[in-house]
Amino acid sequence: MIYKSKWSEIKISIPRVIVTYMICHESTWYHMCPPPCLLYILITLRRVRIIVLFFFILTNQIFFIAFKKMSDEVIEYAKEVAQKKSQVPRLNERILSSLSRRSVAAHPWHDLEIGPGAPSVVNAVVEISKGSKVKYELDKKTGLIKVDRILYSSVVYPHNYGFIPRTLCEDNDPMDVLILMQEPVLPGCFLRIRAIGLMPMIDQGEKDDKIIAVCADDPEYRHYTDIKELAPHRLMEIKRFFEDYKKNENKEVAVDEFLPPKTAYDAIQYSMDLYAEYILHSLRR
């Protein structure tokens, strides 16, 4: 009878224990301070009830701690992912342009080196072929060679014409160069040149000097080191071309006397310094 009475008491106590625990578990008091709540239940129940309640609560607490730890890890991982995403730079037009330039094509003005022999022997990019009546020029934004116009006069370029990379003049263009050599060169190609003189020129009121150079790898012209070594007729032909090629466009051009190689070297060096300042200023923006 005693055994049955005890068992009956246990059966009656178990539901009450569960209900009591659930009420306490759902309360704010339990979440704020679980130990006092558990202590209260343990004190108010008898020894038999304590054993049942202990295992029930222990199991619940184990699951609760495991779930909380898992939740903290998930939250921490989400924060790390969000932080990494925030560190990725936004692809603006400038970055896209830079990526495009590096993966597709080089910019002849900025990416081509001027050469170790500067300022006397440098690289040059041809824009206009010898004998051409088409005026090509560099498109500074894309780096492509575009058609600017067809010459109005019945003249053609007497020699290959182009620019020196990584230089900058007062007109915001790279340094112009006229290249004496045997054969015409396709627009967009680059070659090594040797500066032999400078032709001072004013184009519609703006300074637009031209470097006179020879191809450093042409056996017929590579031995020239000074513009005075050229035939007088050749010099007159060059000067007359630049004086006349814009007359039918009603544009005023003034050409002065040719200057020695030292002046050409100084002009190239000055344009290299201006370009370096331009790049540094662009990087600071």
Active site residues: 157
Q: Using CA atoms, how far apart are residues 128 and 28, in angstroms rounded to an integer?
A: 85
Contacts of 69 (CB under 8 A, 6+ apart): none
Contact call for residues 189 and 167 (beta carbons, < 8 A)? no
Biggest CA-to-CA distance, the chain: 139
Long-range contacts made by residues 134-137, C-beta under 8 angstroms, separation at least 24?
136/187
Q: How many CB atoms lie within 10 A of CB 147?
A: 10
> Omega before 232 cis (within 30°)?
no
Spatial CA neighbour of 52 closest among 22, 23, 15, 5 = 15
Q: Using CA atoms, how far apart are residues 276 and 110, in angstroms rounded to an integer?
A: 11
Q: Reduced to 3 states, what is the DSSP secondary structure of residue 239?
A: helix
| Residues recorded for the chain | 285
CA of residue 17 relative to chain centroid, distance = 70
Q: How many CB atoms lie within 10 A of CB 266?
A: 13
CA angle, residues 157, 252, 255, in degrees to nearest 5: 60
